[in-house]
Chains A and B, each alone.
Chain A
Amino acid sequence: MLPTLSEFLQTDLAAILTATLCAITCALLGTFLLLRRQALMGDAISHAVLPGLAAAFILSQTRDPFPMFLGAAAAGVLTAVLSDLVRRYARVEPGAAMGVVFSAMFALGVLLMSSPSMRLVDLDADCVLSGVLESITWLGDTRSGSQSPSTLASLFSPAVLAAAPRQLITAAAVALLCVFAIAALFKELRISSFDPALAHALGFKPGWLNTALMILVALACVAAFEAVGSILVVAMLVCPPAAARMLTDSLRAQLLLSALLAALAAVAGYFAAAFGPALLGWNMSVSAAGMISVFTGLILAAAILLAPRHGVLVRRLRRLALAIDIAREDLLAMLYRLHESRSANPLTITHARAALGGGPIAALALQSAQKRNHVSRSRSDLALTPQGHAIAQGLIRTHRLWELYLVEHLGHRPDHVHRTAMDLEHHTTPEIASILEASAPPTAGPAAPLDPHGKPIPRPPTA
C-alpha cells in the first residue's frame, strides 16, 4: 500500500532528507579519509563517540544537540590523541593501536548508556547502534502552532518549517558546516592528503588539519547516529568514497561522485526498505538504516566490477584483447618461419589453432588475423598476405635482434634466449628496435647479420 502525498511528506520525507544529508556529509569527509589511508579512523571515531554522547546526555539530562556535539567532538579528539599515544608506546601496529582505543571507549560508552540516568533521555545502546530513522516524522504541534506538511508547496511555509524535526535540522546544519569547511580548506586538505611532507614544508599545519578533520568526522557521526546509528555510519564513510575512487582519479570528481552515490544509496535504500516489501506482496517494511548500508555496498560492488578504467570487467576484457593480439602475432611469426624454412606443408587451420594453445583465444586470433587481411585462407590452409608478411618480417626481426642482444650483451646462453625473445618481441617499439640493431656487431659485406642460431636477421619491413 503506497502512501498518499501528505502521508509521505509527514512520515517519510524527513527521514529521507535526514539520511541523504548525513550520507552526503559522511561521503565528503570519507573521501579525504580514504585518500589519507585513515578509513579506519572513521570507523574508530564512529565507535568512540559513544562515551562522549553518553556523558553529554548524563550531564545535560537532555537530547539537546549542543552538549551532544561537544561530547562527540571531545571523544573524537581523545580517540585521535590516545591512538597516537598507544601507537608510540605499545609495540603493536597502528591499526591494532586504534583498535585498542576505540573498542575500550565503546565499552565505556555501552557502560554509560546502561546507567539509570540514561533512561530519562529515552535512549539505549541499541538505538545508538542502529539509529531510529523510521521514527523521524514531520508533524505539526498545536502547542507551538506549527503545522504538518500536506502538499509540496506547504513545505516552504513558515508554520510547516517550524515543525521540521530536530534531527533533520541538525543533519542540515552539520552538512552545511562540512561543505563550508571542505570548501575553505580544500587546498590545504588536498596537499596534506597527497603529500604531508610537502604540506609541512610549505608551512601548513598538518597536525591541526588532521585534528580538524577528526572533529568534523565526530560531528558527522553524531548527526548521523540518530539517523542510521553509529556502526552504519561507517558504511557511509567508506563505501561511496571507495566507489568514487574506482570511477575517477580527479579529487573534485571524487568528492562530487561520492556525494552523489551516497545520496542515491540513501534514497534508494529508504524506498527499498519502506516500500520494497509491499511491492513484493509482503505487508511490512524492513530496517531502513540496514537497507541503506546494503545499498552503499551494492553500489560499491557495481563500481568495482563495472568501472570504465579500473573495473574488474574492463581489466579482464583488456587482458583478453592483449592475449588475442599476442596470439595473432604469434600466428604471423609462425607462418613466416614456415615460409623461411621452405617447408612443403602449408599450415592448416587445425594445426594453427592447436599451436596457438587452442580454445577461444586461438579462434579469435585467427579470425582477427583474417579480418585485418594479414592472413589469407584457401580451404583449410593459411598463408600470409603481403601486409601480413611485412608485419611478420618486423616481428621476426625484433625477435632475432633480441636474441642477439641477449647473447652478446647480457651473456645469456644461445639455447636460453628464445622464450625471452618471444615475450619481448610483442612489446618492442621501433625506437627500441633501432637501439637493438645499433648494438648488433657489424657484419662484413652486404650479407644480413645472423642471430645466435645462425638465422638471418631480416631487414626492417618497407612500410
Chain B
Amino acid sequence: MPDLFRILTLQSGHNAAVVLLGVAALGAAAGLVGAFALLRKRALMGDALAHATLPGIAAAFLLASALRAAGVGIEPRSLPVLLAGAAITAVLGIFTVHAIRRAAHPRIPEDAAIGVVLSVFFGAGYVLLSIIQVQSSGSHAGLKTFILGQAAAMSAADAQILALVALLSLLACTLLYKEFRLVCFDDAFARTQGWPVAALDTLMMTLVVIVTVVGLQAVGLVLVIALLIIPPAAARFWSDRLGAVLLLATLIGAASGYFGAALSAAHAGLPTGAIVVLCAAVFFILSALFAPRHGILARALRRHALNRRIALDHALRAIDDLARSSPIPTPTLDRGSLQRALAAFGRSASIPRLVRRGVLEPEPSGSLRLTPAGQRAAAAATRQHRLWETYLVARAAIPEAHAPHPADLIEHAVDPDLLDRLERDLNLPPS
C-alpha cells in the first residue's frame, strides 16, 4: 500500500511516473474523442477498427524486415513503423464496413458488418503473426503485446507521443466543437445547411483511429474500445449538457488511466490494460449508482418519495370518507375503524406516521381526531380527486362508475395549478 501511494504521487521513479502520465493522457484523449463517437452512434466502429489494426502491425513488421534485408535502414520493430501499418489497416477496416453496408444493404445490418470486419481482419492478423513466428524462429517479435497491452514497456518518448496526441485531440475537438455538436445531434439539418457532414464524420473517425493506434501499446487493441466507450457512458449519467459530458468523460478517462496504471505498477503481475478498464468500469458503476439526477439511487429515492406522497393522499381521502360516513358529524374517529381504513396504504400512512405528521392527534379516550391542518389536507385531497372525477365524466366521456381509478392515476401526476384551471373550466365555485 505505501508502495501504491508513492506511485500515485509520482515518487516512485522516473519510469513509473512516465507510464502513469502517459496512460492518463491516453485515457483523457480516448474519453474526449469517444464521447463524440458515442453521441454520433459510431462507438462500436471503434471496436472494428481496433481489431483491424492487427494485420497492419504484422504486415508493417514483415515489410520493414524485408526492406531491412534488402539494405534499407529501417528498424522493423520501431513504433512509428508498426503504428503506421496499424493506422492503414484500421482505415481499411472502416472502409470495408461501409462497403459491406452499401453492397449488401439491407440484408446485412451494421452490427453484423462490424463483426465481420472485426473477426476477419483479426484472423488475417493472426495468420501474418504466425508467419512472423516462423521467420523469427519461434517468437512473435513482441508484436503480441499489442493485443493485450504492455504499458510497463512505455518509454518517455512514447509517453510524450501520448501527451501530444491528447493535446491534438483536445485542440481538434475545441476547434470543431460547434461542427461536431451539430453533426452529432442533427445531421440532417447540418446537411441542409450545407455543412460537410461526410468530411466531419471522416475527421471524427480519424481522431478515433489516432487515439486507438497510440493506445495499442498501453492497453492493447482488445481493450482500447473500453476506454472509448466507458468513460463517456459514465459521464452521461451526470449531465445533459454536451460541454459537461465532454469534460467529465475526459476527466474520468484520465483518472481511470492514472489509477489503473498505478495499481498495475504496484502489483507486478497485473495486466495494465485490464486494470485500467476495470477502473473505468468502477467509475461507471459509481456514476450509475450515485449520479444526482439520473443515477439509480436518485431515481429510486424519487420514486419512493412519490409513492409515499401518493399513499398519504389516499390515506387522507380515506380518513375524510370515514369522517363523513358517521351518521352524526363528529370530529373523533374510532381507532379500530381508522386502522382498517388505512390498512391498504402501508407503513407510510400508518396511524403513528400520521400523528407525527400533524394530521391526527390522539384523544385521551383512545380514538383520534383530525387536527385543523389535517382537516385542510384531507379536504384538499378529496377536492382534488372529486374534481378529476368530474372532469373525466364531463369532458372525457368516462362513465361515472369507472371514474375513480383513472382519477387516482392522474391526480398525482399533474401540477397543482392545473387544479385551479380545472375548477374554472368546470365552472365550479372556488374553494
Query: Chain B interface: which of A61-69, A85-93, A147-155, A324-332?
Result: A85-93
CA distance A237 to B51 in the complex (A): 16
CA distance A93 to B120 in the complex (A): 25
B interface residues, tally (CB under 8 Å): 58
Query: Chain A interface: which of B107-115, B184-192, B329-337, B417-425?
Result: B107-115
Say if the beta carbon of A297 comes within 8 Å of chain B. yes
Say if the beta carbon of A137 comes within 8 Å of chain B. no
Say if the beta carbon of B124 comes within 8 Å of chain A. yes
Q: Is the CB of B233 within 8 A of A96?
A: yes
**Chain B residues, Cβ within 8 Å of A284:** 131, 134
CA distance A273 to B126 in the complex (A): 11
CA distance A275 to B300 in the complex (A): 62
Say if the beta carbon of B23 comes within 8 Å of chain A. no
**Chain B residues, Cβ within 8 Å of A108:** 274, 278
Complex interface residues of chain B between 270 and 309 (CB less than 8 A to chain A): 270-271, 273-275, 277-278, 280-281, 284, 288, 294, 296, 299
Q: Is the CB of B112 within 8 A of A39?
A: yes
Q: CB-nearest residue of chain B relative to A104?
A: B281
Query: Chain A interface: which of B69-77, B221-229, B314-322?
Result: B221-229
Say if the beta carbon of B92 comes within 8 Å of chain A. no
Contact of B111 among A95, A100, A273 (CB under 8 A): A95
Which secondary structure dominates where chain A touches chain B?
helix
Q: Is the CB of A129 within 8 A of B147?
A: yes
A-B pair number, CB within 8 angstroms = 203
CA distance A100 to B235 in the complex (A): 13
Q: Is the CB of A310 within 8 A of B223?
A: no
* Interface 0/1 of A21-41, CB less than 8 Å to B: 000000000000010010110
Say if the beta carbon of B385 comes within 8 Å of chain A. no
CA distance A43 to B117 in the complex (A): 12
Contact of B226 among A42, A86, A107, A129 (CB under 8 A): A107
CA distance A125 to B38 in the complex (A): 28
- Within the complex, the shortest CB–CB distance from A217 to chain B, in Å, comes to 13
Q: Is the CB of B118 within 8 A of A286?
A: no
**Chain A residues, Cβ within 8 Å of B129:** 287, 290
Say if the beta carbon of B148 comes within 8 Å of chain A. yes
Say if the beta carbon of A423 comes within 8 Å of chain B. no
**Chain A residues, Cβ within 8 Å of B230:** 100, 103-104
CA distance A237 to B115 in the complex (A): 9
Q: Is the CB of B229 within 8 A of A242?
A: no
Q: Is the CB of B107 within 8 A of A96?
A: no
Say if the beta carbon of A296 comes within 8 Å of chain B. yes
**Chain A residues, Cβ within 8 Å of B280:** 104
* Interface 0/1 of A282-313, CB less than 8 Å to B: 00111101111110110010001100001010
CA distance A121 to B277 in the complex (A): 25
Say if the beta carbon of B215 comes within 8 Å of chain A. no
**Chain A residues, Cβ within 8 Å of B134:** 284, 286
Sample of 30 A–B contacts (CB below 8 Å)? A34-B108, A39-B112, A47-B222, A86-B233, A86-B288, A90-B236, A90-B237, A92-B232, A95-B111, A96-B38, A99-B43, A99-B47, A103-B223, A103-B229, A107-B226, A110-B273, A111-B271, A232-B119, A234-B118, A235-B116, A238-B112, A238-B116, A246-B107, A287-B126, A290-B122, A293-B124, A294-B120, A297-B120, A297-B124, A310-B107
Q: Which A residues fall within an 8 A CB radius of B?
A: 34, 37, 39-40, 42-43, 47, 86, 89-93, 95-97, 99-100, 103-104, 106-108, 110-111, 114-116, 125-126, 129-130, 231-235, 237-239, 242, 245-246, 273, 284-287, 289-294, 296-297, 300, 304-305, 310, 312
Q: Which B residues fall within an 8 A CB radius of A?
A: 38, 41, 43-44, 47, 51, 100, 103-104, 107-109, 111-112, 114-116, 118-120, 122-127, 129-131, 134, 144, 147-148, 222-223, 225-226, 229-230, 232-233, 236-237, 269-271, 273-275, 277-278, 280-281, 284, 288, 294, 296, 299
The 10 closest A-B CB pairs, nearest first, are A293-B123, A290-B126, A297-B120, A235-B119, A103-B226, A107-B277, A287-B130, A290-B127, A104-B281, A39-B112
With A115-B269, A231-B119 already in contact, 16 other A-B pairs whose C-beta atoms are closer than 8 Å: A47-B222, A96-B38, A106-B222, A106-B277, A108-B278, A125-B148, A232-B122, A233-B119, A242-B104, A289-B123, A290-B122, A290-B125, A294-B120, A294-B123, A294-B124, A297-B124
